[in-house]
Amino acid sequence: MERLEKLYEGKAKILYNTSDPDLMVQYFKDDASAFDGKKKGTIVDKGVMNNHMSSRIFQYLEGEGIKTHFVKNINDREMLVKKLDIIPIEVVLRNVAAGSLCKRLGIEQGMILQKPILEFFYKSDPLGDPMINECHVDVFGWATNKEVEILKAEGIRINNLMTKFFEERNIRLVDFKLEFGRHKGEVILGDEISPDGCRLWHLETNEKMDKDRFRFNMGNVEEKYQEVYDLICN
Ligand code: TMP
Ligand code: ASP
C-alpha cells in the first residue's frame, strides 16, 4: 500500500495516510528523545530495529489473542497499521522497580515487585506526562469506564505474555508503556513495542539493554538494541 500525505509526526515515528481510510503507514525514525523531549539525539538504525522488533512482538501478541493495530510489515522502516483514535493515556506496567517509581516513592532500583503495578499517565509533553488515576480519566473524559477496564485487563494480559516472551530470550521485562486507541468501535493496542518504551535487563547480568542507555549516556546504545533485536528477530 502506497503512503500518501503525512498525518502526524511524533518524536520517533511518522504516520502517513494511505488510499484506504482505515489504514495508515507507521514510519520509524532514528530520532531518540527522552525526558519529554528535553534530551534529543540519534540512535543509528533504531528505526529499522524498532520496526522489526515491534512487528515481531505484535505478531506474537496477535497469535495469543490480543487485538493490535498491526496489519503487516512493509519494509525496513514502515509498518501498515489500522488507523486509531488514540486514547491520551500511557498505560505503564512494572514488574521490577526502576525509573520514576523509584524516584517518586524512594524504592530501591531492582526490587522485584510482589505483583505487577499498573499506572496511568496523561500523554502530554508540555505537562511532562503526569501520573493520573481513574478519577481524572473519568472526569476529564479521556476514556469511558468500560474502556478503562479494557486498558487494565489488556495491560495485565500483555504483561504476562511479554514477560514470558522476553524470559524465553534471556531478557527481564522490568517495565514498559502501552498506548491504545479506538478502531471501528473496539479498543486495540497501538504505537510500538521496542526498547524505546520498555526497560529490558539481561536476565543473568541485569545489564540494561534499552533506552536508559541513551537517557543516562551509558554508551553502547546501538549495540544493546542490536542484541535485543538479534534475540527477538533471529
Ligand atoms: P518511567 O519509569 O519513566 O515512568 O517509565 C516506565 C516505563 O514506561 C519505561 O519502560 C519507559 C516507558 N515510558 C515511555 O516509553 N514513555 C513515556 O512517556 C513514559 C511515561 C514511560
Ligand atoms: N519517550 C518519552 C520522551 O521522549 C519519555 C522517555 O523516554 O523518557 O519524552
CATH code where residue 43 lies: 3.30.200.20
Choose among 114, 118, 192: nearest CA to 148: 118
| Nearest Cα residue to atom 9 of ligand 2 | 36
User: Cell 549516556 maps to which residue?
Assistant: 217
Nearest-CA residue for ligand 1 atom 16 is: 197
For residues 90 and 73, state if they share a domain.
no
Same domain, 31 and 135: no
Does 14 share its domain with 31? Answer: yes
pLDDT at residue 133 in the model:
98
What distance in angstroms lies between residue 19's CA and the mean position of ligand 1's atoms?
34
d(CA 34, ligand 2 centre) in Å: 4
Same domain flag for 159 and 59: no
Q: Considering the domain boundaries, does residue 229 fall inside one?
A: no
pLDDT number for residue 2: 84
Looking at the structure, tell me whether residues 47 and 122 fall in a common domain.
Answer: no
Q: Which of 60, 82, 104 is the last residue of a domain?
A: 82
Distance 203 CA to ligand 2 centre (A): 24
- The answer on 116 and 78 residing in a single domain is no
Nearest atom, ligand 1, residue 175 CA? 10
- CA dist., res. 87 & res. 186, Å (int): 12
Asked whether residue 54 falls in the same domain as residue 157, the answer is no
Residue 36, pLDDT > 90, answer no
Q: What is the pLDDT of residues 68-78, one digit of tens each?
A: 999 999 999 99
Predicted pLDDT at 68? 98
Kindly tell me if the per-residue pLDDT of 202 is higher than 90: yes
Give the number of the atom of ligand 1 that is nearest the alpha carbon of residue 197.
Answer: 15
Distances (CA, A) of 172 to 205, 215, 225: 10, 19, 14
Contact residues of ligand 1, CB 6 A cut-off: 90, 92, 99-101, 121, 129, 175-177, 197-199
Whether 226 is covered by a domain: the verdict is no
Which residue's CA lies nearest to atom 5 of ligand 2? 34
Q: Which residues lie closer than 8 Å to 213 by C-beta, 6 or more apart?
A: 219, 220, 221, 224
Q: Report the pLDDT averaged over residues 103-121.
A: 98
* Structural domains counted in the chain: 2
* Same domain assignment for residues 89 and 205: yes
Looking at residue 88, its pLDDT comes to 98
State percent of the chain over pLDDT 90.
97
118 and 157 within one domain: yes
| Residue to mutate (ligand 2; options 28, 30, 36, 200; most atoms within 8 A of CB) | 36
Looking at the DSSP bridge assignments, the partners of residue 112 are 96
- Give the H/E segment covering residue 148: helix 145-167
Closest CA to 89 of 49, 148, 139, 39: 148
> Is the pLDDT reported for residue 200 higher than 90?
yes
- 33 shares its domain with 91: no
Are 133 and 180 in the same domain? Answer: yes
Residue 36 domain boundaries: 3-82
Q: Specify the CATH number for the domain of residue 190.
A: 3.30.470.20
